[in-house]
Structure 1
Amino acid sequence: MPRFFSGSIAALLLATTAPAFAAKPAPVSALVKAVDIPYQQFTLANGLRVIVHEDRKAPIVAVSVWYHIGSKDEPKGKTGFAHLFEHLMFNGSENANMDFFKPLEQVGATDLNGTTWFDRTNYFETVPTGALETALFLESDRMGHLLGAIDQAKLDNQRGVVQNEKRQGDNEPYGLVEYAQLAALFPDGHPYRHSTIGSMADLDAASLEDVKNWFRAHYGPNNAVLVLAGDIDAKTARPLVEKWFGDIPRGPDTVRAEVTVPTLPAPVDQVMKDRVATTRIMRSWAVPGLNDPETTQLQIAMSILGGLASSRLDNALVRQDKTAVSVSASVQPFEKISIVEIAANVKPGADAAQVAAKLDSLIADFLKNGPTADEVTRAATRAISSQIGGLESVGGFSGKAVTLAEGEVYSNDPAKYKQDLAEAAAATPATVAAATRKWLGRPAYRLTVEPGERSEADIAIAGGIRAEPRYYRDPKREGGAAAPASSIAAVDRSKFPEVKPIGDLTFPAIERTTLSNGMQVTLARRTTVPTVRVSISFDAGNAADPKQKLGTQALMLSLLDEGTKTRNSIQIAEEQERLGAAIATSQSMDRTGVSLFALKANLAPSLDLLADVVRNPAFEPAEIERLRGQLVTSIAAENTQPRGIARRVIPELLYGKIHPYGVPMSGSGTEAGVKAVTRDDLVAFHQAWLRPDNGKIFVTGDTTLEEIKPLLEARFGQWQAPATPKGAKLFRMDRMARPARIVLIDRPQSPQSYIMAGQLLPFRGTDDPLAFTTANEVIGGSFLSRLNMDLREDKGWAYGAFTSAPLVRDTMPFYVIAPVQTDRTGDSIAAAIGDIKTFLTAKGVDEEEHDRTISNQIRSLPGSFETSSDLLAGLVSLDTLGRPDDYYTRLADRYRAMTAAEMDKAAREAIRPDDLIWVVVGDAAKVRPQLEKLKAQGINLPVEEAKPGA
């Protein structure tokens, strides 16, 4: 669901009438008037509603199918059915009885997924234009020809996958909060009372006939919306849609239950224990759904209260009192109801009761006095701007197809976003205050989550998060065979439609210039929407973090937008909000970046702010202490997360302490390091690394070199490097032995074990190991990889398992990652080692894997560089790895020339499965006996226990 309005704000596809660069921010009314997603709509005889939006910027089409059925429509005892069926519908249909990822990867699909929520289930993929019929064939076949391909083996397998998805989510800190929240806010029998993931018991009880009847009742074309957005028009689309969907018979009409917005008779107070780093205080209310005009007012109110960087709660609790490390306030909008949630994470050592009292008083003050006009304007501007940033995408999770589809599904109006925008533009302090008083003046659900062991009662509310399943799947059972079509086919479905020619990637021209101080500027133009992205990238990264005080860089970066020599942190936040701009910092192992997203109409003042933040940080002592506390708490939070723990531990195990990469992967540093950093250290790091002779400027979006250079010259051209030496990184390994072993980190009550193994590869990212990274797609890099298909699709022990080889400048690592159910931890390690060894010896890349992988790598390139954000990342990567400007355009020919033997050779020369170092984060009492038994399987890995990284 979108975070602000019920529909994603559409692209500013028509040029605005505002000047290219304005001295004052463009008014909200001007932004709203320019927003438009032109579309055409038609309905088939069977009730399928079809929406077509034309966007010719790239030879790709987003295909999005939305079914108006979700978890709120599930009857008692059948929770989780909608989500379970989402998984089953990826596992093959009568005329394409295979994993749907296989043909879609073959044609180069990007933004490929499916999701289920309270009100809907959707499937989406963005495909090259020439492969549109393949996508339509697949989507129509699972809509009208599915049931004959579903058998007990598939049901059992996907039930196991879904249950591991539930375990994975429940295993996270605060992972049980949603269950408690829904149970408190909604009475028994209310459609929104149970979670979308469902309960273990209901999933266990789902029979083959149960799930088939669920499909028959709800997945007909008359309960669906199909959106095509991109390199397509309605005239071309209609005969294709009629061809593939026209023969599907209409289904029963789904009965919609009456849904009321419940009001608690009195405040409900609850305390929950969990393995968390800090106490969280929450306040929640059930409020109207997304079609109620007051929902927009509530969204603006929550942004002002706790969503903006300059929000009331941020300013009072985080900046002023310094008793909270973070706050939030938001509205989760659903079709029939929404949920307002306000939260504060208490600073360790602070009095949680006092923070709770202050939080309640701030809410009460807002209800009494309402917001200011400036707050309303800033909230509306920021929300519109942040969504415009995602509007270049035609599909995916938040592109234009989503906007049109959800408008039609929820409101019977693809242009519902225009109504939302009009309501936002018309919002006033009075309208926002009135809606807030009306709905938040009622009793609240008040939850406090404290550090500690989870109680059996809280686990019970979650519907069970047991580590072991009650049955096991037989991996030898075959998938469903083809069955007679469930409707009379009007089109030949005996073979896949022919894929029409798909052109190679056309990367925008890369232009370069140099400022008067020597800083290089690189530009790739993309004019789809009137926005500009700028990244000032420095040759630093986590590898530059001082070993004696790890976390220096992270603390320095967090302070950049918290005060300059002329602006304090609140002023910086408010100025970004008025401009609709967003300044962010980032760090990889090799690079440190400060980036800007700006509306073109507000580019000049946005660049003023960016330059001030980069060049003139104040490093004010009080702000240092405040951000130091937040960073220390963030490190503590990482040490409560299974993934966070593993990522903190494994780099040092592989690289050792002296290597620049032997640091926590998050870049947050260590608690001791962060506590030891002084202001002088921060100033010194900034001067050594964030300086003009160590940085380059990258620009993408709706601008030209002629336009942008004078703007950059005025703000950065006179920036001179300090007299102190520029920073330098020394890449060297120590001589310590790093034998293969298992490092077990105890995390009691974990229903899953997080497995992460690694080793160092014999090459660098600058060596451009293309054959190896392509081979990795087959081993574990894609959904259809050997590892994922084994642990997830065949055995059902994991929600996902994969391998990765990050392209860092120096020695690259190879990782194996698999969160698995606790009782299969040892078996999963044995299976992963077996899969890798089989690949490296008896069964390398086969013909189908080679052809599919190569085809996917070539055909997915246009979709991979659809947006200016994609382009920006691409430009920075080229520079980081020392690649030529034509690197991406030459990739297709390099892939075409790559053989399976070359892929095998690259993998076999690099991967040493017996030398992997394994980290397992899980319930040691249950896991260690399994690990000790590995020796009986010929896997002689000593087991040592360790604590989470400091």
Structure 2
Amino acid sequence: MRLKSLALIGTMMFLTQPALAETKPAPLAALIRQVDIPYTQFTLANGLRVVVHTDRKAPIVAVSVWYDVGSKFEPKGKTGFAHLFEHLMFNGSENAPGDFYEPLKQAGGTDMNGSTYFDRTNYYETVPRTALDRALFLESDRMGYLLGAVTQATLDRQRGVVQNEKRQGDNRPYGLVQYKQIEGLFPAGHPYGHTTIGSMADLDAASLDDVKSWFRAHYGPNNTVLVLAGDIDATTARPLVEKYFGAIPSGPQNTAPTVEIPTLAVAKSEVMKDRVGATLLLRAWTVPGVNDTDSTALDVAAGVLGGLSSSRLDTLLVRKEKLAVQVSAHNSSFAQLGTFSVRALVRPGVDPALVATRLDAIVADFLRDGPSADEVGRYVTESVSGTIAGLERVGGGGGKAVTLAEGALYSNNPGFYKKQLADLAAQTPAHVRAVAAKWLSRPVYALTVEPGAREAYADAAVPPPAPVAVKPEPPVKGTRGAMPPAGAAIDLTYPKVERARLSNGIEIVYAQRGAVPFTRAVLSFDAGYAADVAGRSGTAKFALAMLNEGTVARDATALAEAKERLGAGIGMGMSADRTSISFSAPSVNLAPVIDLFADMVRHPAFTPAEVERKRAELLAAIAQEVTDPGALANRVLPPLLYGAASPYAKANGGGDPAAVAALTRDDLIAFNAAWLRPDTARLFVVSDRPLAEIAAAFERGFGDWQAAGARGVKRFAPLAPTTPRIVLVDRPDSPQSTILGALPNTLAGTDELLPLITANDALGGGFLARINMNLREDKHWAYGASGSFQRIEHAAPYLVSAPVQADKTGAAIAELRKELTGYVGAQPMTQAEFDRAIADATRSLPGSFETSQALLGGMQNNDLWKRPDDYYATITARYRALTRAQVEAAARAAIDPARAFWVVVGDAKVVRPQLDSLGLPVEVIPAASVATARRAAGLQE
């Protein structure tokens, strides 16, 4: 029953009564009715199509511009042009010279980015409503007044950035699979037959005339959809859009290429080798695109086969037969066709041929028998639930503006999402089986990726392009007048945070947010990587993972099925200081979700067979980590930075494989008993439901939970002195090097770091920061580089991250050292940088806390950093009280370049000679030994 009296007790409450009775999941129709994005649309005389959606929950407007041009329009020899132009359009236009982000950052823009794929190029930003004029001016200027600002220097710079983006993707384990899959499925010359990133050779060959001709042919207003979503209405929007876009003339009309869904004449099978930790099996087919009714049935088929946690492949290959450690199936729907893929990562020690046989048999069984009604229902419920959660955001890469723009561009209907939901709700087992059999019974493309030395591939052999002489060009003259001002600042209205306490003492930290009928909650324990067992690194992760592998009442499959029926997402994670178990779910299902959540947390079964299965999966994940450049660097860094005896040195991915292999069921149970217990727990909740109802529901699930035995203890000491040096992790055949730099200091995360966060805005904290502008925009040696204070409870070192092309590794570290030294020396933060940082920090706050997920994160940060609940309500005043002198002094005190040491993951035969010239000791360790050879680089436990 609902405890109405709780609302009268105030901000701190104590509960002793049982709460809500268990209920069944809400009907699917009730969930679907909650998905609604009303809109108005109009078209300008030049063909620009405009869609407007009003959402007054926050004083922000999402601006989303979608061009009907993607890689499918690229002719032979010009692959990668659409994506290259996406980059060029961020580098200033005739009336807004300089970087596109600069004026938006001054205005407090959030969610600023762009992307390119087969069918489209899109740009998006969310701005305070007072900055909408500026955003529309900027978007219209790069649509209609761009080419005068595109120079040879700009082209060369962004070509280099794109090529490093490609190297960064290629450098990852299985990074070459996408090329093989596309080549295997599509005939030469097919519009979908090459990747969006393009080839190195085609990017090198792109001339200034080529790219300007490409723009003139494709980027007119008549090939564009503009969506405005948020604190705006059509009556206000229309004159603004006319003002900024109306004078841009129409261009040539894009015509979608003729596309056939190719069918292989016979099944095709290939094998490739790569430096990976486990064999990957891939099966792929071409299928219809988003506008074909079959695509929805294929979505369901993919979910049932390998998308749901309870999928056929998970249940059979992973849980029951223990032949694979990871499986997936996915239906990728594009505008004119799609691809359907199934993947399985073979369990180490198992014959890949056996797994391939079982994989194919499971798919064949599915095509013969189809899914059950329960499987279809679970997939549909989970999908609709995810849609509801995603529509809380008005913009960014996946909110309401994106939903409307996709419908308008791909299907000529901004409300196409409603048709998709109706199609989804109408799916039956027989229909899904028939559609899946129709498309997946055709000849398959099969790829096996085996561990071994990476095979040579064409793009790796392309040398850097010869520099093109840059001709002097006259400066661009503005023709549209001054850029609109950033507009008046709008202060953040931060919701009231309330507190309650369950009968057993667990505190609830709560905020109400009613934009969507959804509840998000995090049960946070004072544990984290720092609580891991000395000498048995990996215990904490192993023990936490077992909570998802079955309870006393439900096995792992039944647990997954129960979550899916409720549309609930339940996740687990660890930071340095906290271990968290979280859920998100439609609020109509709140009571049964909390019952399920409590069962997982309080009654994990630790079934011996499941312990052994999870052990094998974790060991396979560790094997994968030592093939991934980022994971390698993050394994090596902590003991170097904090000292081998520090609790923080245990933050090393999946842990020590020898320890994970030796852990017993009793070890895991003991760890959970010591750390995941009510006296280390705090609940954080954001919901549209009132606190009284939330508290009563959690009281039912957790109120009688009592701790037993001794609580775990973490012991911290001052950081051990570090020696400046370079630790090089040798990873052969790496086209890029991953650089991590660390600068120790005496700070703690609980210190007031606002002056340092402000200082870092100009050094490493964003796209416009010096580190990124140097290595990406000036040198184009990297796709991105950054620096930040790694804020954890008892420390806050400054870390620098820069994946760079291999031949520039040494030079890149030299540039990073120069930037760090200059920033705390002769080139401190300028007044312009300071003003920009303060303007961005204060003006962006309404957009930064748009979603309940962001609010939930802020509440947890306040708790960890020991700040008051109203910290963010007062943060604007705190920023405005800062002076540049304070910020500079804080940076000088916290950043000491002389103490920096560096971890580099790259090909030693290429990188070592560069590093030897930097004046620091260089220590080399092989990548394969990182997880086991603790002797190197101070890595012993």
TM-score range, shorter chain: over 0.9
| AA of the residue aligned to 1:873 | G
Which of 448, 470, 491 is matched with 1:504 structurally?
491
Query: Contact 1:129–1:502 at 8 Å: present in 2 too?
Result: no
Map of 1:749-898 to 2, 5 A cutoff? 749-898=733-882
Q: What's the counterpart of residue 31 of structure 1?
A: 31
Asked if the contact 1:656/1:733 (under 8 Å) is kept, the reply is no
Cα deviation, 1:17-68, whole Å, max 9, x if unaligned, reads xxx9971112222222332100000000000000000000011110000000
Q: Following TM superposition, by how much is the alpha carbon of 1:565 offset from its aligned partner in structure 2, in angstroms?
A: 1.1
Give the alignment's TM-score, normalised by structure 1.
0.94
| Cα distance between partner residues in 2 of 1:529 and 1:567 | 31
Mapped partners of 1:656, 1:673: distance in 2: 20
Deviation at 1:656, TM superposition (A): 1.4
| Whole-angstrom CA distance in 2 between matches of 1:390 and 1:878 | 25
SS class of match (1:946): strand
2:623 is aligned to 636
Distance 1:928 1:147 in 2: 42
Question: For the residues of structure 1 that align with 2:719 and 2:615, how far apart are their CA atoms?
Answer: 31
Amino acid at match of 2:925: A
Distance verdict in 2 for CA 1:760–1:472, change over 3 Å: farther
Instruction: Tell me the alpha carbon deviations over residues 811-842 of structure 1, each in whole angstroms, 9 at most, x when there is no partner.
Output: 21211111111111111011110111111111
Over the residues paired in the alignment, what is the CA RMSD in angstroms? Answer: 1.4
Specify the code of the residue in structure 1 equivalent to 2:807: D
Contact 1:150-1:480 at 8 Å conserved across structures: no
Of residues 417-426 and 25-34 in structure 1, the stretch that sits farther from structure 2 once superposed is 25-34
SS of residue in 2 equivalent to 1:389: helix
Candidates 701, 719, 725, aligned match of 2:710: 725
Q: Which amino acid aligns with 1:680?
A: D
Q: Partners in 1 of 2:21 and 2:47 — Cα distance?
A: 48
The one-character-per-residue Cα deviations of 1:471-526 (angstroms, maximum 9, x if unpaired) are 3589xx799765357xxx6xxx3211123322111111101111111111111110
- Kindly indicate whether the alpha-carbon contact (under 8 Å) linking 1:97 and 1:480 is maintained by their aligned counterparts in 2: no
Report what 1:937 is aligned to: none
2:299 corresponds in structure 1 to: 299
1:846 and 1:623, CA in 2 relative to 1: closer, same or farther beyond 3 A?
same
Q: Is the 8 A contact 1:467 1:823 kept in 2?
A: no
- Report the CA distance between 1:383 and its aligned residue: 1.1
Q: Could you tell me how far 1:665 is from its partner in structure 2?
A: 4.8
Which of the residues 497, 500, 523 maps onto 2:510? 523
**Aligned equivalents of 2:871 and 2:335: distance in 1?**
46
Residue in structure 2 matched with residue 17 of structure 1 by the alignment = none
Aligned to 2:678: 692
State the secondary structure of the residue aligned to 2:716: coil
Change (3 A) 1:375 1:515: same
Q: CA deviation at 1:745?
A: 1.0
Instruction: Look up the SS of the partner of 2:359 in the other structure.
Output: helix
Equivalent residue, structure 1, for 2:15? none
Tell me which amino acid in the other structure corresponds to 2:861.
S
Deviations 1:868-895 (A, max 9, x none): 1111111111111111011111111111
Q: Percent of counterpart pairs with the same letter? A: 56
Q: Deviations over 1:554-586 (max 9, x none)?
A: 111111021111111111100000010111111
Per the alignment, do residues 299 and 608 of structure 1 end up closer, same or farther by CA in structure 2, a change over 3 Å counting?
Answer: same
**Counterpart residue number, 2:464:** 469
- Tell me which amino acid in the other structure corresponds to 2:706: Q
> How do residues 622-701 of structure 1 correspond to structure 2 at under 5 angstroms?
622-666=609-653, 668-701=654-687
Deviations 1:575-606 (A, max 9, x none): 00001011111111011111111111111000
Distance (whole Å) between structure 1 residues aligned to residue 420 and residue 666 of structure 2: 49
Query: 1:245 — aligned with what?
Result: 245
SS at 2:386 equivalent: helix
The letter for the 1-side match of 2:772 is N
SS in 2 for 1:853: helix
User: C-alpha distance in 1, partners of 2:675/2:830?
Assistant: 47
Amino acid in structure 1 at the alignment position of 2:777: E
Preserved contact between residue 201 and residue 462 of structure 2 (Cα < 8 Å): no
Deviation sequence 1:100-143 (CA, Å, 0-9, x none): 11111111111110000000000000011111111100000000
Aligned-partner Cα distance in 1 for 2:661–2:762: 44
User: Kindly tell me: are residues 128 and 22 of structure 1, through their superposed partners in 2, closer, same or farther at Cα, counting changes over 3 Å?
Assistant: farther
Q: Distance in 1 between matches of 2:698 and 2:795?
A: 35
Residue identity opposite 1:74 in structure 2: E
1:542 maps to which residue? 529
Q: What is the aligned partner in structure 2 of residue 9 from structure 1?
A: none
Code of the residue aligned with 1:681 in structure 2: it is D
Among 472, 476, 487, which residue is 1:483 paired with? Answer: 476
TM-score by length of 2: 0.95
Aligned mates of 1:399, 1:701 — CA distance in 2: 19
Contact 1:658 / 1:734 at 8 angstroms: preserved in 2?
Answer: no
* 2:267 corresponds to 1:280: no
Partner of 2:8: none
Q: Which residue of 2 aligns with 1:13?
A: none
Task: Give the match for residue 606 of structure 2.
Answer: 619
Q: Which residue of 2 aligns with 1:208?
A: 208
**Residue of structure 1 in register with 2:57 after alignment:** 57
Residue identity matched to 1:372: S
Match of 1:568 in 2: 555
Contact 2:762 2:770 in 1 (8 A): yes
Q: How many Å separate the matches in 2 of 1:905 and 1:676? A: 50
Partners of 1:81 and 1:848 in 2: how far apart? Answer: 35
Give matches, 1:372-383, under 5 Å: 372-383=372-383
Is the CA contact (8 Å cut-off) linking 1:97 and 1:481 kept in structure 2?
no
CA distance in 2, matches of 1:108, 1:889: 17
What is the alpha-carbon distance in structure 1 between the residues aligned to residue 319 and residue 399 of structure 2? 35
Cα distance in structure 1, aligned partners of 2:657 and 2:926: 14
| Contact residue 95 and residue 477 of structure 2 kept, 8 A | no
1:220 lines up with 2:220 in the alignment: yes
Structure 1 partner of 2:693: 707
Q: Which amino acid aligns with 2:675?
A: W
Aligned residues: 910
Deviation at 1:370, TM superposition (A): 0.7
**What CA distance in whole angstroms lies between the structure 2 residues aligned with 1:392 and 1:79?**
36
Whether the 8 Å contact between 1:825 and 1:927 is mirrored in structure 2 is yes
Quickly say closer, same or farther: Cα 1:119–1:479, change in 2 above 3 A: farther
* 1:257 counterpart letter in structure 2: P
Q: Which residue matches 1:187?
A: 187
Task: Give how far 1:256 is off.
Answer: 2.0
How far apart, in 1, do the equivalents of 2:602 and 2:468 lie? 60
Contact 2:304-2:376 at 8 Å conserved across structures: yes
Aligned-partner Cα distance in 1 for 2:638–2:719: 14
CA distances 1:131-171 after superposition (whole Å, capped 9, x unpaired): 11111000000000000001000000000000000000011
1:470 deviates by 2.4
Measure how far apart 1:732 and its partner are: 1.5
Matched, 1:269 2:256: no
Q: 2:921 aligned to 937, 942, 945, which one?
A: 942
> What is the CA distance between 1:702 and its match in structure 2?
1.0
1:810 to 1:468, Cα distance in 2 relative to 1, 3 A: farther
How far apart, CA to CA, are the structure 2 residues paired with 1:187 and 1:708?
Answer: 56
**Residues of 2 paired with 1:63 and 1:323: CA distance?**
47
Q: State the shift of 1:178 in Å.
A: 0.7
**Secondary structure of 1:918's partner?**
strand
1:149–1:480 CA contact under 8 A, matched in 2: no
Do the aligned partners of 1:536 and 1:593 also contact (CA within 8 Å) in 2?
A: yes
Change (3 A) 1:478 1:378: farther
Aligned residue number for residue 426 of structure 2 = 426
Query: 1:274–1:449: 8 Å Cα contact kept in structure 2?
Result: yes
- 2:330, 2:864 → 1: CA distance? 37
C-alpha deviation, 1:613, in angstroms: 0.4
**Runs of 4+, deviation exceeding 2 Å:** 465-468, 470-474, 477-485, 663-666
SS at match of 2:273: strand
